[in-house]
Structure 1
Amino acid sequence: MNTTDTGILNALARRYIAMWNEPDQALRRALVDELFAPGCVHFTPSREVRGRADMVARVTAAHAEWVAPGTHFFRAVPNADGHHGTVRFNWEMAKAATGATVSVGFDFLVLDAAGLIVSDHQYIDR
């Protein structure tokens, strides 16, 4: 994957965010498989997730808490940037009723040669 092409990187960020919003469990699992390497890791300040199965569980739990009740959704900010097999981008969690941003963060991804995520470091700014 060309990690200097902002069009490609923003498309990756949109697919990544779509995974968190996806209501269908099978499609959510398919997105994890399309985006993440089998031995992937995902880190937040309070979580450490290893492997695709645990990543599916992580995304499913976040979806159940924030998106499924119909109160929030996630969106990518079109500012993805990258180099040397890494990508960073911002995202927002917004109120479903108004679109108002209620949380902001960013992810720093390390990709393998095939463009799959091997390491995902998520930061919550607010």
Structure 2
Amino acid sequence: MPAISGQKPVISIRVDLAPAGRLGPGKIDLLEAIEETGSISGAGRAMTMSYRRAWLLVDNLNRMFRQPLVEASPGGAKGGGARLTAMGREVVAHYRAIESKALKAASLHIDALQDAVAEPSSAEPAGTS
């Protein structure tokens, strides 16, 4: 059976980097959005997240690693902004590699699960997993 609405199954991975914290798809998406938009506020807007929430996540990420992942420059006449550091780009690349390899390794089992999924009308209501 194909995936509903043409969507392919995905794996959501969270890496627990004890005792530093957790690294998951939301934080990685935020880092990629900062790289794309050039600002924390722009990344937050792109993800429908408040600036404060985005800033707190960036602060958390910068504290998790030996080197900051995001460098921000204050606003003013030139408008400020933010960018990923070399370490930030490296962390994103490692996370995406883990995600890709996990999906490839699990694809046979994911396909079996997808084939066993009920039609939408008989499936349980969304959000009850």
Above 0.5 in TM-score?
Answer: no
- In terms of fraction of residues, the more strand-rich structure is 1
TM-score, L = length of structure 1: 0.30
Larger RCO: Structure 1 or Structure 2 (Cα < 8 Å, ≥ 6 residues apart)? 1
Specify the structure having the higher radius of gyration (Cα).
2
TM-score, L = length of structure 2: 0.30
